[in-house]
Structure 1
Amino acid sequence: MSPYGNTFFGMPAGRFADGRLIIDFTAESLGVPFLSAYLNSLASNFSHGANFATLASTIRLPETILPTNGGSSPFYLRLQYSQFAQFKARSQIITIQGGVYGSLMPREEHFGKALYTFDIGQNDLTQSLFRNQTLEEVNATVPDIINQFMDNIKNIYSLGGRSFWVYNTRPIGCFPSILTGFPSAKKDSAGCAKQYNKLAENYNAELKKGLAKLRNQFPLATIVYVDIYSALYPLYVNPAKYGFKLPLVACCGYGGEYNYNAAAPCGQTVNVNGTKIAVGSCKDPSVRVNWDGFHFTEAANKFVFDRIFNGAFSDPPIPLKMACHPTQLHS
């Protein structure tokens, strides 16, 4: 619902931002159309790729299915992989049948040439925190989260995937939702919650190790670790240098120091002292970092993409265009 999508699409477009996401900028840079969501059955063209992501997805099997109340999506990573496996098999049947539907499907050879991107894991951390698990308890789950993540990449490799572009998680200690939910947390010089960023850093270190092991196991694959944490963090340290302001404050929200209240989410109408208030956008999302407490503005997504696409924040330092064949993209 509005104001989601208003900056670029002029309407809600299945993205939890005011406009484009990193995956959209990725598609544009490779010269392919935006990816259709696998779950969108209406007028979808999957010939250039498909997007299996959903709001609030986790790597591990979710403990609660309450996405509108800080819980998880039922479409966790193992289920997304199952959907991908079904998509691969079913799309080839449709292609053989031909006709207009066949033209909307990828060909068999595309699956081995595609770029498989992953931007997941953040919700495994934040949702556990909001279920009142301690930092120690959440940190203890990181090895299992990473193991399950690596298992899913292995599964895609077994179906022919060879190029993988894996994002680490963002500095969650800078999120308005975390800063509001855990107000007593110690802050760093940028105003972010130190311990919660340490949790993200621990997750990222384990992810990097896991991907390094996969590279040794599958030498024919291109497996790239992309450090969007480091690419994004300068916006919190020195936002004015890059044309941003109020990086810790949600653009679309209501109330409090960080303009975030879990009971008044972006786009909803809430009752405040008997008055109905529409929770809307700030005046200029183009200079803001955080969109709705958890997600980022199009401007911040563009800033990150511009810094990562050439491989400067990647291990190994492979530019995006060298990581895949530019005619196909999967996410």
Structure 2
Amino acid sequence: MGKCGVFGARVLCWGALMLCVLQVASAALPNCSYPGVFAFGDSLSDTGNSIAAFPEKFANAELDPNGILFPTHAADRYTDGKLLLDFLAFGVRRRPIYPVLRGTGGDFTFGTNFAAYGAPARTVKVWYKDDGFNVPFSLDVQHQWSERYKIRVWFYESPIFNPPGRLVQSLPKLATWNESLFVVWSGYQDYFFSLYDKKLTVSQTKKIVGDVVAAIEEHIVKLLTPVVYIPPATPSMIMPIAQTIMVVNLPPLGCIPAMLTLYGGPKAKYDQYGCLSELNKITSAHNKLLTEKIIALRAKYPAALILDADAHGVYTDILKNPKSYNVTAPLSACCGVGGSYNFNTGVTCGHAGLVDGKFVNLTTSLPATPCANPRAHLSWDGIHTSNTFNKAAATDFLTGKHITPAGGLGCSPDFFFFDSST
């Protein structure tokens, strides 16, 4: 055998050896199987809390065309299929997580969703019912919900206050609370709708980064801090806390179709992907500061696993090479109408009206989908992330990509239901 033949054989043997090593390493990972998933944040994660509180204000969330790729569960979601939270729940062998305010048909056995459309990270001090897309359910309120929720779970598990067989509820076990996965994806509302509603200028929005990140940091600290509960007629107890928290950063604001429509133009500055540079500076500043806070929290709470999930990195990767993700319209909304980015503030997804004198109906997915190929878009409605992005981000996070510490959850995920419609 010639030198080239020997070299080629060695390369093949080395490649086969590395493949075996990788397979063994992969096989050695335990299954991702958390007893529950609990979520906090805004419309990027909400599965029905805000519509439960304000059914008229958010009525379109549960109507077509939202959820066309996930018809059996997608009511109450602002996306075409599954949210990032849905994919994460499936990936750790759970089912979609129900909102805490849902009054009918909820199964909370495997966790609960406290996120709410229109909820900012920062505390809401003044709120008006008809004030745009906003709600008063900021992170501090969501934490109050979760703390009270633990008390209610304790009540249903108590043989004193709830004798066996008297009240039966589909609830998570309180003892598994500290073994569950907690997902925090917040801050998008603070920036996006401040700009969308023109309540803040771009320069003013940059100045709130510190306050937004501080609110997220405070929420994480609360999740990690034990609270003593003193129930009536029984000894006091320390409520369980979170031990595994996935904190998700923000996608680039300057690449969102609504922002491109509102702030683009001849005088705007664009980056190499066609995104707005000045708006992306806001997201970059937020994500940088958030990472710094997470690193500090890891040092302060060494017993906890605090994961920094880089949604911005996933988004940028897709923009760099959209074809590898089968994305052909990365800066355009699927469910929308008009302009370079298929977005118009006058008629948004789930609504109908006149655009340039023509009637437009974006309230149904029949007889055709809102766009030729929903999977080709990173943005569903010009505001919220699409099933395509959510799936890509969840896949990366669950397989240890775009997430720190290295290896992420350190377990083997389940992708069986990722493309299911049930």
Q: Same fold (TM over 0.5)?
A: yes
Could you tell me which residue of structure 1 aligns to residue 3 of structure 2?
A: none
SS at match of 2:117: coil
Tell me the CA shift for residue 323 of structure 1.
11
Q: 1:106: which partner in 2?
A: 172
Q: CA deviation at 1:136?
A: 2.6
- Give the corresponding residue for 1:314: 403
User: Aligned ranges for residues 66-81 of structure 1 at < 5 Å?
Assistant: 70-81=132-143
Amino acid at match of 1:108: L
- From 226, 239, 247, the counterpart of 2:309: 226
State the partner residue of 1:156. 223
Partner of 1:194: 277
Superposed CA RMSD in Å reads: 2.3
Are the counterparts in 2 of residues 4 and 11 from structure 1 also a CA contact under 8 Å? no
Letter in 2 for 1:306: T
Indicate whether 1:295 and 2:378 are aligned.
Answer: no
Q: Per-residue deviation at 1:60? A: 0.7
Asked whether the equivalents of residues 253 and 293 of structure 1 are also in contact (C-alpha less than 8 Å), the reply is yes
Partner of 2:375: 286
The amino acid across from 1:195 in the alignment is: E
Residue aligning to 2:22 = none
Q: CA deviation at 1:83?
A: 0.5
User: Structure 1 residues 66 and 244, CA, compared in 2 at 3 Å: closer, same or farther?
Assistant: farther
* Corresponding residue for residue 165 of structure 1: 246
Give the direction of change, closer, same or farther, for the CA distance of 1:323–1:70 in structure 2 (3 Å limit): farther
2:122 equivalent in structure 1: 60
Which residue is equivalent to 1:89? 151
110, 118, 143: which one pairs with 2:210? Answer: 143
The aligned residue for residue 133 of structure 1 is: 200
Deviations 1:6-42 (CA, angstroms, capped at 9, x unpaired): 1122575211101111111111111111111111121
Deviation at 1:85, TM superposition (A): 0.6
State how far apart, in whole Å, the 1-side matches of 2:274 and 2:205 are.
22
Give the match for residue 294 of structure 2: 211
Q: Which residue of 1 aligns with 2:258?
A: 177
1:7 — aligned with what?
Answer: 69
Distance 2:98 2:85 in 1: 11
CA contact (8 A) 2:257 2:382 kept: yes
In 2, the alpha carbon distance for the partners of 1:321 and 1:34 equals 22
| SS of residue in 2 equivalent to 1:36 | coil
User: How far apart, CA to CA, are the structure 2 residues paired with 1:64 and 1:245?
Assistant: 42
Cα-to-partner distance string for 1:232-282 (whole Å, 9 max, x where unaligned)? 212223312321111111000111111111221101111346653212611
- Closer, same or farther: CA 272–101 of 1 in aligned 2, 3 Å: farther
**Aligned-partner Cα distance in 2 for 1:37–1:136:** 35
Number of the residue aligned with 2:84:
22
> CA 1:142 to 1:69, structure 2 compared with 1: closer, same or farther past 3 Å?
same
CA contact (8 A) 1:290 1:296 kept: yes
- Over 3 Å counting, the alpha-carbon distance change for 1:238 and 1:229 in structure 2 is same
2: distance between equivalents of 1:275 and 1:66?
33
Q: Percent identity?
A: 27
Q: Greater CA deviation, 135-144 or 146-155?
A: 135-144
2:209 and 2:282 in contact (8 A); partners too: no
CA distance in structure 1 between the partners assigned to 2:304 and 2:281 by the alignment:
30
Asked if 2 retains the 8 angstrom alpha-carbon contact of 1:2 and 1:11, the reply is no
Matched letter for residue 104 of structure 1:
S
Name structure 1 gaps, 5 residues minimum.
Answer: 325-331
Structure number with bigger Rg: 2
CA 1:12–1:35: 2 relative to 1, 3 Å: closer
How many Å apart are 1:61 and its aligned residue? 2.5
Residue ranges of structure 2 left out of the alignment (5+ in a row): 1-62, 227-240, 364-369, 414-422
Deviation by residue 1:139-160 (Cα, 9 ceiling, x = unmatched): 2211111112111111111241
Matched, 1:119 2:185: yes
Is residue 64–residue 72 contact of structure 1 (8 Å, CA) maintained in 2? no
Relative to structure 1, is the Cα distance of residues 277 and 69 closer, same or farther in structure 2, using a 3 angstrom cutoff? farther
- Structure 2 SS opposite 1:308: helix
Partners of 1:169 and 1:208 in 2: CA distance: 11
Corresponding residue SS for 2:67: coil
CA distance in 2: counterparts of 1:275 and 1:65, whole angstroms = 35
**Matches of 1:64 and 1:125, distance apart in 2:** 17
SS state at 2:332 partner: coil
Deviation larger for 74-83 or 140-149: 140-149
User: Contact (CA 8 Å) 2:353, 2:360: kept in 1 or not?
Assistant: yes
Contact kept, 8 Å, 1:163 with 1:222, in 2: the verdict is yes
SS in 1 for 2:340: coil
Deviation larger for 166-175 or 311-320: 311-320
Which of residues 34, 38, 41 in structure 1 aligns to 2:96? 34
Q: Structure 2 length normalisation: TM-score?
A: 0.72
Distance 1:100 1:268 in 2: 45
Relative to structure 1, is the Cα distance of residues 267 and 276 closer, same or farther in structure 2, using a 3 angstrom cutoff? Answer: same
* Structure 1 Cα separation of the partners of residues 314 and 105 of structure 2: 35
CA 1:260 to 1:322, structure 2 compared with 1: closer, same or farther past 3 Å?
same
Alpha-carbon distance between aligned partners in 1 of 2:131 and 2:338, rounded to the nearest angstrom: 18
Cα shift at 1:322: 4.4
